[in-house]
Structure 1
Amino acid sequence: MNRRIKGISIVFVLIFSFSVYTDIFAQVEFHGFVRNHSVFRIDKPNDAMLLRNRLRLNPELYGDNIYGFASLDILNDPAGENKTLTDLREAYLDIYSSFVDLRIGKQQVVWGKADGYFINDIVNPLDLSYFLLQDFDDIRMATTMINTKIHIGNQSLEVLMIPEFKPMKINYKGYWAFQRPDSIDLLVYPINSVVISLPMYYQPDEIAKKSLRKAEYGFKFNTFLLGTDLSLIFLKIREDKAVFFKQIVTDDNGLPSGVNLFPSHPWIDFYGLNFS
Structure 2
Amino acid sequence: MLKLRIALLIFLVTVTPALAEEVSLHGFVQGNYAARITAEELPGPEGGDFLLGEERLQIKLAAASQGGGFFLKTDFFHDVIVRTTEMDVREAYIDYSAGPLDLRIGRQIITWGVGDLLFINDIFPKDYAAFFSGRPLEYLKIGSDAVKVNLFSDLISAEWAVIPFFQSDHLPSSNRFFLFDPFSGVSGTQRMTEEPRAEFENTELALRLFRNLFGLDAAVYA
TM above 0.5, yes or no, is yes
* Among 12, 19, 25, the residue aligned to 1:30: 25
TM-score by length of 2: 0.85
Deviation of 1:30 after TM superposition, in Å, equals 1.0
Query: For residue 34 of structure 2, what is the aligned residue in structure 1?
Result: 39
Structure 2: runs of 5+ lacking an equivalent: 41-47
The answer on whether the counterparts of 1:154 and 1:224 sit within 8 Å (CA) in structure 2 is no
Per-residue Cα deviation, 1:23-67 (whole angstroms, up to 9, x for no partner) = xx1122111111112122333379333222211111111111111
Deviation of 1:177 after TM superposition, in Å, equals 5.5
Per-residue Cα deviation, 1:214-271 (whole angstroms, up to 9, x for no partner) = 200011111112222211111xxxxxxxxxxxxxxxxxxxxxxxxxxxxxxxxxxxxx
Query: For residue 216 of structure 1, what is the aligned residue in structure 2?
Result: 204
Q: Name the structure where strand makes up a greater proportion of residues.
A: 1
Structure 1: runs of 5+ lacking an equivalent: 185-198, 235-276
Give the total of aligned pairs.
213
Specify whether residues 43 and 119 from structure 1 end up closer, same or farther in structure 2 by C-alpha distance, changes over 3 A only.
Answer: same
The amino acid across from 1:44 in the alignment is A
Q: Structure 2: how far apart are the matches of 1:44 and 1:13?
A: 44
User: Structure with the greater relative contact order (CA < 8 A, sep ≥ 6): 1 or 2?
Assistant: 2
The answer on whether the counterparts of 1:172 and 1:179 sit within 8 Å (CA) in structure 2 is no
The amino acid across from 1:77 in the alignment is D
Q: Aligned Cα RMSD in Å? A: 2.2
Q: Structure 2: how far apart are the matches of 1:41 and 1:183?
A: 24
Query: For residue 2 of structure 2, what is the aligned residue in structure 1?
Result: 5
- 2:171 is the counterpart of 1:176: no
Query: For residue 69 of structure 2, what is the aligned residue in structure 1?
Result: 67
Structure showing greater Rg: 1
Query: For residue 118 of structure 1, what is the aligned residue in structure 2?
Result: 119
Q: Structure 1: how far apart are the matches of 2:126 and 2:179?
A: 14
Q: Name the structure where helix makes up a greater proportion of residues.
A: 2
Q: Tell me the SS of whatever aligns to 1:81.
A: coil
The answer on whether the counterparts of 1:170 and 1:178 sit within 8 Å (CA) in structure 2 is no
Query: What does 1:61-210 correspond to in 2, within 5 Å?
Result: 61-78=63-80, 80-122=81-123, 124-132=124-132, 133-153=134-154, 155-176=156-177, 178-183=179-184, 199-200=186-187, 202-210=190-198
The amino acid across from 1:20 in the alignment is P
